[in-house]
Amino acid sequence: MTRRINAPLYNAVIAVSQKDAVRFHMPGHGGVGEDASFFASAAYDLTELEGLDNLLSPNSVIAEAEALAAAAYGSADALMLTQGATCGIHIAVLCVGKLGKAVCIGDMHKSFWHAAMLYDLETVRCDTDGLRARLEVGDIGSVFITSPDYFGNVADLRYIKKLCKDCGVALVVDAAHGAHFAFSEILPDNPAAYADIAVFSQHKTMCTYGGGALMCVSDAFSAMARVNRQLVHSTSPSYLIAASIDFSRALWSERGEEFYLDIAKDVKIFSASLPAPYRHVPSDDISRVIIDCGGDAYSVMRALEHKGIYCEAAIGEKLICIVTPYNRSVLKELALALGDIPPQPLCKRERLDLVNEGVSGRVRIVSVDECVGKRACMPIGLYPPGTPEIFAGDVLDERAVKFIKDNIDRVFGLASGGVVVVE
């Protein structure tokens, strides 16, 4: 059963899908598909038909949906994306690339580093304490930061925004994991309140289909963001995903406070019920449940999967779970399952911090065993969280080879099982 809600694109997709129509347009499943169960949503997977607008040049229901999203997030403009926050990060890099070098505070997702390589954005890394001094050099055009991070903790965006404003620099926030912040007073501040450009992955924490994202921009970058979306985004956007972006924004606007008050209660009960040695580690986001396993969290995550329980990520001793209105009631099952899983010892390691010699040269793919002494052409790290351990231009050594081999089942940045290098 569908419902009427203040979501113009969602309502339009529902209306068009219910017409008695014969389809001779893409997608090729024709609204039916071969497997009735798998293709249960096929009727809503449409294209640029009359009444459904065009994502790359909106002037009706998508334009209305984006205006409602901008109002919900308190931004001058909002752009819907059906290719995830990665697409938004690429658009953001294009928007600020000609302003000067970009400062990166802390870890950034691989999508940022890939975009910087593609669009020739020169980057420098810095921490918050040294930001003012680095901005005052005068060659910086933008600051990029991830907030919240994978553990649900947020940066002091108010302070960083003030520094950026004082120095005439744009602030771009990868807020992929903070799309829900705008909808409850008990959650951290909405990053769009401080950023010139904020990119949200609605599908990570809301009821949006996979790939659904939103980009909030200030007046200064609105026109350029819309131009760059046409350059980067697919010309075949998913209307199923787009409609779910619209729907989740409307639903969270109606019920966000209720959702997170309920989540807070369930998380508190869960925290008290965890068996030893497991311990709940509070974060800024009450819906981001971090569990200290007292050992290797990755081994715990794999053991949970054998019990049919799937977590977001395992980083070091920390197991990461995203709690939503749709899974909060089964937190107790997670606590019970952990009682049967003894964590394995964690082999701690230091960050590699390799020597970087740039990426100019001939590109080729070599086996992992052959890459010692060669320079990486691509960032390499663990996914999740998707932040590089090895950067493009880093000279690979035996430690790097060991890192890749030890994590071969979850490492990103390889090609056909080999390492992309420059010589």
Same domain, 246 and 300: no
Residues 162 and 285 in one domain: no
CA distance linking residue 265 with residue 329, whole number of Å: 10
- CA nearest neighbour of 152 among 253, 281, 270, 251: 281
Between CA 65 and CA 71 the distance in angstroms is 10
Is the domain of 214 the same as that of 71?
A: yes
**Enclosing domain of residue 415:** 363-422
In a domain, 357, yes or no: no
301: tokens are 């995550």
Question: Other CB atoms closer than 10 Å to residue 399's CB: what's the count?
Answer: 15
Domain boundary pick from 198, 222, 252: 252
Please provide the size of the chain in residues: 423
At 274 the three-state DSSP class reads coil
The answer on 247 and 140 residing in a single domain is yes
Measured between alpha carbons, how far is 45 from 243 in angstroms, rounded to an integer?
A: 10
State the pLDDT at residue 390: 96
CATH number at residue 322: 3.90.1150.150
Q: CA-to-CA distance for 305 and 308, rounded, in angstroms? A: 5
Cα–Cα distance measured from residue 136 to residue 156, given in angstroms and rounded to the nearest whole number: 19
Domain-embedded: residue 269: no
Q: What is the predicted pLDDT for the residue at 112?
A: 98
Strands (E), 268-395: 279-281, 288-292, 313-315, 318-322, 363-366, 375-376, 380-382, 388-390
Q: How far apart, in whole angstroms, are the C-alpha atoms of residue 73 and residue 168? A: 24
> pLDDT per residue over 91-118, tens digit each?
999 999 999 999 999 999 999 999 999 9
Shared domain for 115 and 244, answered yes or no, is: yes
* SS3 at position 320: strand
Q: Note whether 120 and 247 are within 8 A (CB).
A: no
The residue assigned the tokens 């909808």 is 183
Q: Say what the pLDDT of residue 2 is.
A: 63
Output phi, psi for 146, to 5 deg: -100, 120
Query: From CA 303, how far away is CA 393, in angstroms rounded?
Result: 37
Residues 286 and 406 in one domain: no
**Residue 377: predicted pLDDT:** 95
Query: Do the domain assignments include residue 263?
Result: no
Domain total in the chain? 3
Q: Is the peptide bond before 58 cis (omega within 30 degrees of 0)?
A: no
Confirm if 248 and 202 have CB atoms less than 8 A apart: yes
Strand partners, 106: none
Residue for token pair 């390492």 = 419
Pair 291, 248 in one domain: no
What confidence score (pLDDT) does residue 421 get? 96
Same domain, 293 and 418: no
Q: Does residue 39 lie within any of the structural domains? A: yes
| 64 lies in the same domain as 173 | yes
Alpha-carbon span 118 to 79, nearest angstrom: 22
pLDDT of residue 351: 86
DSSP 8-state assignment for residue 138: S
pLDDT in tens, the chain (423 residues): 566 799 999 999 999 999 988 888 989 999 988 888 999 999 999 999 999 999 999 999 999 999 999 999 999 999 999 999 999 999 999 999 999 999 999 999 999 999 999 999 999 999 999 999 999 999 999 999 999 999 999 999 999 999 999 999 999 999 999 999 999 999 999 999 999 999 999 999 999 999 999 999 999 999 999 999 999 999 999 999 999 999 999 999 999 999 999 999 999 999 999 999 999 999 999 999 999 999 999 999 999 999 999 999 999 999 999 999 999 999 999 999 999 999 999 988 788 999 999 998 899 999 999 999 999 999 999 998 999 999 999 999 999 999 999 999 999 999 999 999 998
Same domain, 184 and 284: no
Check residue 228 and give left, alpha or beta (phi > 0: left; psi -120 to 50: alpha): alpha
What pLDDT score does 139 carry? 96
**Residue 368 within a domain:** yes
CB atoms within 10 A of CB 391: 19
Q: Taking a C-beta distance cutoff of 8 angstroms, is the pair 152, 322 a contact?
A: no
The dihedral region occupied by 211, where left means phi > 0, alpha psi between -120 and 50, and beta the remainder, is: left
Q: Would residue 321 count as lying in a domain?
A: yes
- Distance from C-alpha of 222 to C-alpha of 226, rounded to nearest angstrom: 6
> Does some domain include residue 206?
yes
218 contacts 75 by C-beta, under 8 angstroms:
yes
Residues 138 and 13 grouped into a single domain: yes
Quick one: which of 164, 157, 219 has its CA closest to 190? 157
Residue 171 and residue 188 in contact, taking contact as beta carbons nearer than 8 Å:
no
In a shared domain, residues 142 and 280: no
417 domain-assigned: yes
- Report the C-alpha gap between 57 and 53 in whole angstroms: 8
Classify strands 363-366 and 313-315 as parallel, antiparallel or unpaired: unpaired
| CATH classification at residue 97 | 3.40.640.10
In 3D space, the residue among 283, 273, 295, 347 whose CA is nearest the CA of residue 321 turns out to be 283
Count of other CB atoms within 10 angstroms of residue 208: 26
